[in-house]
Amino acid sequence: MNRGWEILDSGQVSDITKSKKAFDELTAFHWRYYSELAFQRRPIREELNRALREAATPFEFTRWQRVVKFKYSFNPLSAKGSLADPGGRFNIGAIDSTRYPMFPALYLAADKGTAMAEVLGRKTANSSLSAEELALTKPDSISVLSVSGKLEAVLDSRLDEKLEPFVALIKDFNLSPGLRSAARALKVPLDLVRTVGRLQDVLVKQNWRDWPMLYDVPAGGQIFGSIALDAGIEAIVYESVITGKPCLAIFPQNFLNSTAFVELDDPVPSDEIPRRMDSTNFTRFV
């Protein structure tokens, strides 16, 4: 029987060169984009820190949920896993440590469905299942733990009034004519944060991984998280883009000189598993 050949892809060698050139131009553009805004943030860093510190309030949570891969089950409160490239929504991982200092965060969700969906259930366009259903179909071995805690300085990013002073400081940032020209040539949209609503959209953006994964530049939420960390904020409350339920990104590094703590609610199977993280031992979790 005669068999025909199916053409899987076709093109010219020159197309590869053109594609690489286009990608290099996009990467350089995103670095310039990041750098111009970072340059404008630098002189007002302390004002930005103050705006977040003054908006922070105590926060207590009971029986929230944490999902970890099975291999991390002997240290489920550790935030070290969040340092893997590209990091988490509010922490910078191993993108490029020479340019962007890495820092970890501990992620929790208000209920089990949200915690599982955040870790396992990223919905794709061609899937008929919801993100929560996808999480249940994943064969990964995981541990789901109930966690409670009490924090001193938490920023609730869902509340407009908590972000208004911060946005007031950055809403007049601008970009150079050269960068704007490059954006038009590359067909890249420029959408600076001018309002609280826009900042909230950036913080819960579904495809936030695009910038760090494709262009080696931190996403907007990661930049915001680095400012919050510098300001002494212990955690950020945000809304799950998947379920709409609250989540927490906790920065254990800021537990020093604080009464903040996070602890497992249930008995542990071994004395080797630490149940509580606070100012006396937070360094072992970061």
* 126 or 242: which leads in pLDDT: 242
- DSSP-derived secondary structure letter, 43: G
Q: Report domain extents, the chain.
A: 45-173+191-285
Confidence band of 134 (pLDDT split at 50, 70, 90): low
pLDDT range class, residue 197, cuts 50, 70, 90: very high
pLDDT value at residue 20: 76
Q: What is the mean pLDDT of residues 168-173?
A: 98
pLDDT > 60? residue 139:
no
Q: Where on the phi/psi map is residue 257: left (φ > 0), alpha (ψ -120 to 50), or beta? A: left
- In this predicted structure, the answer to whether residue 12 has a pLDDT above a threshold of 70 is no
- What stretches of 70-167 adopt beta strand conformation (E)? 87-88, 91-92, 106-109, 142-156
**How high is the pLDDT of residue 214?**
93
Q: Are 108 and 64 in contact (CB under 8 A)?
A: yes
Q: Could you give the C-alpha distances from 197 to 79, 194, 245, 247, in angstroms and in order? A: 29, 9, 18, 18
| pLDDT given for residue 73 in this prediction | 87
Residue 3 has pLDDT above 50, yes or no: no
Q: What's the confidence (pLDDT) of residue 1?
A: 44
Average pLDDT over residues 189-209: 95
What is the average pLDDT score of the chain? Answer: 90
Long-range own/partner contacts, residues 177-186 (CB < 8 A, 24 or more apart): 179/29, 179/32, 179/33, 179/36, 182/29, 182/32, 183/29, 183/33, 186/25, 186/26, 186/29
pLDDT at 16 over 60: no
CA distances from 206 to 3, 200, 240 (A): 44, 12, 9
Which residue stretches of the chain are H helix? 13-41, 45-55, 112-120, 131-137, 160-170, 177-186, 196-203, 210-215, 220-230
pLDDT surpasses 50 at 102: yes
pLDDT (average), residues 100-126: 86
Nearest to 255 by CA among 233, 227, 226: 233
Residue 97 has pLDDT above 70, yes or no: yes
Could you report the per-residue pLDDT of 224-281, keeping only the tens digit for each? 999 999 999 999 999 999 999 999 999 999 999 999 999 999 999 888 999 999 999 9
Backbone angles phi, psi at 111, to 5 degrees: -140, 165
